[in-house]
Structure 1
Amino acid sequence: MSFKIAIIGAGSVGFTKKLFTDILCVPEFKDIEFALTDVSEHNLAMIKAILDRIVEANKLPTKVTATTNRREALEGARYIISCVRVGGLEAYADDIRIPLKYGIDQCVGDTICAGGILYGQRNIPVILDFCKDIREVAATGAKFLNYANPMAMNTWAAIEYGKVDTVGLCHGVQHGAEQIAQVLGAKSPKELDYVCSGINHQTWFIELRLNGRPIGKDELISAFEAHPVYSKQEKLRIDVLKRFGVYSTESNGHLSEYLPWYRKRPDEIARWIDMSDWIHGETGGYLRYSTETRNWFETEYPQFLEAASKPIDLAKRSNEHASHILEALETNRVYRGHFNVKNNGVITNLPQDAIIESPGFVDRFGINMAAGITLPEACAATCMASINVQRMSVHAAIAGDIDLLKLAVLHDPLVGAVSTPEEVWQMVDEMVVAQAQWLPQYAHAVPAAKERLSKSKVKTREWAGAARRSVRSIEELRAEKAALKQAG
């Protein structure tokens, strides 16, 4: 087989390498072309050198090109994969910093909440530019695989306004299933069969079977509470499990910021999170982790390049969906996964226009969703709160409507639990002004926002959050890795 895959945002070096090696684990794909594109020439040069080293070490005929000219990369591509973060860590830092001034403590801030909504405002105009290029220069019928957050908003915009065949991909379901299999004592995650459905980052394991035996709520609660690690790291998820009756896919820290109950009082946050790793609820945890990862990669790049000289290990193919979808579409080997698509009746008690994440099967005819799923009422209600925010956020981003943007932020569950309308209005003005360079659709609104800020009497505070940690230096990271290696 010979076809072209374009990766937009290929400067996300670690993730691009994973996608690349996963795809080359499919024997039929050795002759394909990867076209890498990014706004950073520096990152492009690094990832191309790594991928060239992999191709050379494995004696493959695979072609790798790299360019900052996106249309050139997309020309003739059959598949386009996006893993972009518009504004990079600079804009992301404001997604965390500014809401903290108004008492909004986020762990990640990339899906909804104040940070995720502004992230969507930055990404959506760029996503639509991608879609325009795909329609104009990519192969006829090209498929757009979106990995970028905010997943639902980006996918919604690409389908509804970009008019491109799009699927959103995430790994939260796989990770949640691995946890459940582990606490139930399974020898392999493959022993667990499940139906998991909802919206991205709020997906629910509504049916579980271990080796064919149904697993009920009480057994699952007991298994998690007895686990020596997860009982401490996933306190909030376990509490939601007890109350809702089903387990959520999303991590303790992520889930905490989609709900209005666990992060609204600073003195309560410590009760529900765990500081053993950022993902369990640390304030701005993913920002710290991403910053440390970038710094580490820049410093230790020669080691990453050397590691690329090793043969591809087929046994280490990851459970990221992309390679498995491409394999199914191209070879007709059927793949079952969980995909972000427009609802259109797949989940009976969520809106038709919503982007849902639910089970589907892929073969040469495309992605075929399992329809007729009904969520438990509490799960549907929680998803609905986020869907309403997502819909308003997408419409605001398309129209450049700052008033609708403020209403979207106001209706966010955690923001609404913490902030007053006056605080929300000022916070959005402040975020739009701070991020103006990445928000071209709001250029007309920035002068008035600046004027309002100059006259505002809404009080703010400089607050690091309830559970903030400083970015560690390279020396600290080296010492920690050495200690872990010695202990292990």
Structure 2
Amino acid sequence: MSFKIAIIGAGSVGFTKKLFTDILCVPEFQDVEFALTDMSEHNLQMIKQILDTIVSSNKLPTRVTATTNRREALTGARYIISCVRVGGLEAYADDIRIPLKYGIDQCVGDTICAGGILYGQRNIPVILDFCKDIREVAEPGAKFLNYANPMAMNTWAAIEYGKVDTVGLCHGVQHGAEQIAEVLGAKSPSELDYICSGINHQTWFVDLKLNGRKIGKDELVAAFEAHPVFSQQEKLRIDVLKRFGVYSTESNGHLSEYLPWYRKRPDEITKWIDMSDWIHGETGGYLRHSTETRNWFETEFPQFLESASKPIDRAKRSNEHASHILEALETGRVYRGHFNLKNNGIITNLPADAIIESPGFVDRFGINMVSGITIPEACAATCMASINVQRMSVHAAVSGDIDLLKLAVLHDPLVGAVATPEEVWQMVDEMVVAQARWLPQYADAIPAAKERLAKSTVKTRDWAGAARRNVRSIDELRAEKAALKQAV
């Protein structure tokens, strides 16, 4: 088979390499063309070197091109994969830093909460530009696979306003299932069957079977509490499991910032998180991790390039959805996964216009979702709070309505648990002004926001958060890696 796959944001080097290798694990796909595009010429050249090394080492006919001209990359593409981070780490730092001044402590801040909402405002205009190019120059009927966060907002905008065949993809469901399989003593995650449904990052394991035997709440709670690692790392998740009756897909740190109960008091935050790794709730944890990862990659690039010369091992194909979806669409080999699409009755107790994440099957006819699923009422209530925020955020991003943006932030569960309306109004003004270069739709609103900030009497504080770690240097990372290797 010969067709073209465009990857936007291909400078996300590690993730692009994973997607590329996964797709080449499909025997029929070795003759495809990969068109890489990114704003960073430097990152593009690094990833192209790595992918060219993989191609030559495995003696494949695969073609790899790289260009900063996005439209050129998308021309004739059948599949377009997006993994962009608009504003990079510079804007992301403001997503964490500014809300902290108002007492809002986020672990990740890329889905909802103050940081996730502003992230969406930066991303959505760019996503709509992608969609315009796809409609105009990609292969007719091209499919857009969005990996970029905020997942639901980006996918919502692409479907409702971009008018492109879009599916949102995430790996939270797979990772949650791996955890459950481990605590239940399964020899392999394949022994676990499950139905997981909700919205991205708030998806719920509503039905579980281990080797055909149904697993109930009490058995699952006991299994997690008995696990020597997860009992400490997932305290908040386990508490939600006890109260809601079902386990959430998302990590302890992520889940903590989607709910109004666990991060609203600084002295309570440390009770629910674990500092062994960023993903368990550390303040600004993903920002620190992303910064360290970028620095590490720049320094250790020769080693990454050397590892690319090894033969592709099809047995190590990852569980990221993209390669499996493409395989099913092109070959007819059926794939079951969990996908982000507009609801339209798939989940009976969530709104029709919401972007939900739920099970589906893929074959030559497309992605066929399992419809008529009803999730537990508490799960639906939690999802609804986020859906309402997402809807307002998308509409604000498209219209450039700063008042609607402020209302979206005000209705965010964690923001509303911590900040007053007056504080929210000032915080949004401050964030919009700080990120003005990435927010063209708010250009007309920026001068008034600056005037309000100059006259503001709302007090803020200089606060690093309840559980902040410093970014580690390359030498520190190298020493920790060596110590870990010696311990093993």
- CA drift of 1:356 comes to 0.1
Distance in 1 (CA, whole Å) between partners of 2:101 and 2:175 is 33
Whole-Å separation in 1 of the counterparts to 2:444 and 2:487: 57
* Secondary structure class of the residue paired with 1:248: coil
- For residues 308 and 8 of structure 2, what CA distance do their matches in structure 1 show? 21
Deviation readout 1:369-408 (Å, 9 max, x if unpaired): 0000000000000000000000000000000000000000
Q: Give the C-alpha shift of residue 480 in structure 1.
A: 0.3
Aligned to 2:472, the other structure's residue is in SS state: coil
Residue 453 of structure 1 is matched in structure 2 by 453
1:39 CA drift (Å): 0.3
Give, in whole Å, the separation in 2 of the partners of 1:116 and 1:182: 31
**Equivalent-residue separation in structure 1 for 2:370 and 2:226 (angstroms):** 34
- How far is the alpha carbon of 1:409 from its aligned partner? 0.1
Q: Render the CA deviation track for 1:158-184: whole Å, top value 9, x for unaligned.
A: 000000000000000000000000000
String of CA shifts for 1:124-179, please: whole Å, max 9, x gaps: 00000000000000000000000000000000000000000000000000000000
> Whole-Å Cα distance in 2 between the matches of residues 299 and 190 of structure 1?
37
Partner of 2:347: 347
Quote the offset at 1:241 in angstroms: 0.1
In structure 2, distance between residues paired with 1:32 and 1:487: 43
Question: Displacement, 1:352?
Answer: 0.1
Match of 2:32 in 1: 32
Residues paired across the two proteins, number: 488
Q: Counterparts of 1:71-220 in structure 2 under 5 Å?
A: 71-220=71-220
**Inter-partner Cα distance in structure 2 for 1:403 and 1:139:** 39
Q: Hey, what's the Cα distance between the residues in 2 that align with 1:10 and 1:190?
A: 31
1:450-470 CA-to-partner distances (Å, cap 9, x unmatched) read 000000000000100000000
Distance between the aligned counterparts of 2:52 and 2:178, measured in 1?
Answer: 33
- Report the RMSD for the aligned CA atoms in angstroms: 0.2
Q: Helix, strand or coil: the match of 2:243? A: helix
Give me the whole-angstrom Cα distance separating, in 2, the residues matched to 1:316 and 1:31.
Answer: 20
- The equivalent of 2:334 in structure 1 is 334
Matches of 1:316 and 1:170, distance apart in 2:
19
Q: Provide the C-alpha distance between the structure 1 equivalents of 2:43 and 2:415, rounded to a whole number of angstroms.
A: 35
Between the aligned partners of 2:329 and 2:214, the Cα distance in structure 1 is 32
Separation in 2 of the partners of 1:79 and 1:138?
8
CA apart distance, 1:111: 0.1
CA–CA separation in structure 2 for the residues paired with 1:299 and 1:223:
41
Question: How far does residue 100 in structure 1 lie from its aligned partner after superposition?
Answer: 0.1
Q: Percent identity?
A: 90
1:328, distance to aligned residue in structure 2 (A): 0.2
- Cα distance between partner residues in 1 of 2:264 and 2:316: 41
Q: Normalising to structure 2: TM-score of the pair?
A: 1.00
SS in 1 for 2:445: helix
Inter-partner Cα distance in structure 1 for 2:230 and 2:309: 36
Return the offset for 1:122: 0.1
Distance 1:307 1:241 in 2: 41
Deviations 1:9-38 (A, max 9, x none): 000000000000000000000000000000
**1:91 Cα shift?**
0.1
Deviation string 1:404-436 (CA, Å, 9 cap, x unpaired) is 000000000000000000000000000000000
Matches within 5 A, 1:388-407: 388-407=388-407
For residue 426 of structure 1, give the secondary structure of its aligned residue in structure 2.
Answer: helix
Helix, strand or coil for the counterpart of 1:127? helix
Distance across 2 between alignment mates of 1:189 and 1:120: 33
Are residue 10 (structure 1) and residue 6 (structure 2) matched? no
Shift of the alpha carbon at 1:264?
0.1
CA distance in 2, matches of 1:30, 1:151: 29
Per the alignment, residue 377 of structure 1 pairs with 377
The 4+ residue runs of structure 1 with deviation greater than 4 A are none
The CA deviation at 1:341 is 0.1
- Give the CA deviation at 1:445: 0.2
Deviations 1:77-131 (A, max 9, x none): 0000000000000000000000000000000000000000000000000000000
Distance 1:303 1:118 in 2: 36
Q: Quote the offset at 1:195 in angstroms.
A: 0.3
Q: Corresponding residue for 2:59?
A: 59
SS of the residue aligned with 2:84?
Answer: coil
Q: Distance in 2 between matches of 1:281 and 1:309?
A: 36
Q: Deviations over 1:230-280 (max 9, x none)?
A: 000000000000000000000000000000000000000000000000000
Q: What's the TM-score, normalizing by structure 1?
A: 1.00
In structure 2, the residue corresponding to 1:315 is in which secondary structure?
helix
Q: Which runs of 5+ in 2 are unaligned?
A: none
1:207-229 deviations in Å (ceiling 9; x for gaps): 00000000000000000000000
SS at match of 1:247: coil
1:487 & 1:418 partners in 2: Cα distance?
A: 42
Cα distance in 1 for residues equivalent to 2:202 and 2:437: 31
Offset, 1:325: 0.1
**What is the CA–CA distance in structure 2 between the aligned matches of 1:140 and 1:393, rounded to whole Å?**
30
Quote the Cα distance in structure 2 between the aligned partners of 1:364 and 1:269: 48
CA distance in 2 between counterparts of 1:315 and 1:479 reads: 31
CA distance in 2, matches of 1:178, 1:364: 28
Whole-angstrom distance in 2 between the partners of 1:100 and 1:71? 38
Q: Deviations over 1:30-76 (max 9, x none)?
A: 00000000000000000000000000000000000000000000000
